[in-house]
Structure 1
C-alpha cells in the first residue's frame, strides 16, 4: 500500500496580509509560495521540518460570488473548522501571540483529555488551538 501524507491544509481568511502577520510573523511559519491569479492570491506557509503547508486564501478565490459571500460570513463569525498546532514552548508562543494582539480564547491550561494548550482566533476569526509538545 502507498503511504499517504497530508500536504496542504486550506485556511480561508478575510485578509491575507493580516493572516500573514499571525501565521508567518507571530507563529514563525515560512512562506513557500505567494501566487496571484485572476485577481486572487494564495499563500502557502510551511510548517518548519514537515512536508505540510497551510494555504491561505480569500473566500472568493476559485468560488462563485454566492459561495464566496456565504463563506465570508462563516469565516467572519468563526464558524469554520479550526487548526490545532503543536509547539515546543507553549508559554513563549502564548506571550508572542498575545503581544501581537491575537484574540485569546483560552490561556494555557492542562486539559483533562491530555495536552496543555491555549486557544486564539486568527485575525479572520478562525480558531487556532496550540498544544504543548
Structure 2
C-alpha cells in the first residue's frame, strides 16, 4: 500500500496570528488562504515538502458541532490540550533559537528525553502544542 500524509489540521482562533507564526516564525510557505462566511482556512507547509500540508482551520466551523462542544473546544485550546503536532529537524538548537527569538511561547527547552529523543516544545498562538524532535 502506497500512502503518504497529505494534510493534517490544526485549529486556530486568530488567522492573522496563526499566519504570522507559521509563515514568519516557523518559516512555512503559504499554500492556500481561503475565506468563507467570516472564517479562514490557511494551508501552510515546509517549502521542500510540497506534498505535506498543515491546514489551520476555525475549530467550530463544522455544522455538526454543538454550542456546548464549541465551548469545550475553546477551553481545551486555551489549556493547550486540544491539538498538537510533532515536527523534526537536524538543527534542533537553531530552530529553538529562531522560535524563541520570534516570541513563541516556550514549553520546554531542548532536552534529552529518557526514551532516547532530544526535543523541545512550544505553543502556537492558538495554544496548540508543537514538539520538535532532533533527527539523528
Q: Normalized against structure 2, the TM-score is what?
A: 0.88
Q: Which residue of 2 aligns with 1:117?
A: 119
Shift in Å at residue 12 of structure 1? 0.4
The count of corresponding residues between Structure 1 and Structure 2 is 132
Q: Which residue of 2 aligns with 1:7?
A: 6
Q: Which residue of 1 aligns with 2:17?
A: 18
Structure 1, unmatched stretches of 5+, are none
Q: Is the 8 A contact 1:45 1:53 kept in 2?
A: yes
Give the root-mean-square deviation of aligned CA atoms: 1.5
Shift in Å at residue 116 of structure 1? 1.3
Q: Is the 8 A contact 1:108 1:118 kept in 2?
A: yes
Give per-residue Cα distances to partners, 1:60-114, cap 9 Å, x unaligned. 3234461333212211111113110012211111111111111111101111222
Structure 2, unmatched stretches of 5+, are none
Q: Which residue of 2 aligns with 1:28?
A: 27
3-state SS, counterpart of residue 24 of structure 2: helix
Q: Residues of 2 paired with 1:117 and 1:20: CA distance?
A: 24
Q: Which residue of 2 aligns with 1:60?
A: 60
Point out 4+ residue stretches in structure 1 off by more than 2 angstroms: 47-50, 59-65, 67-70
Q: Normalized against structure 1, the TM-score is what?
A: 0.90
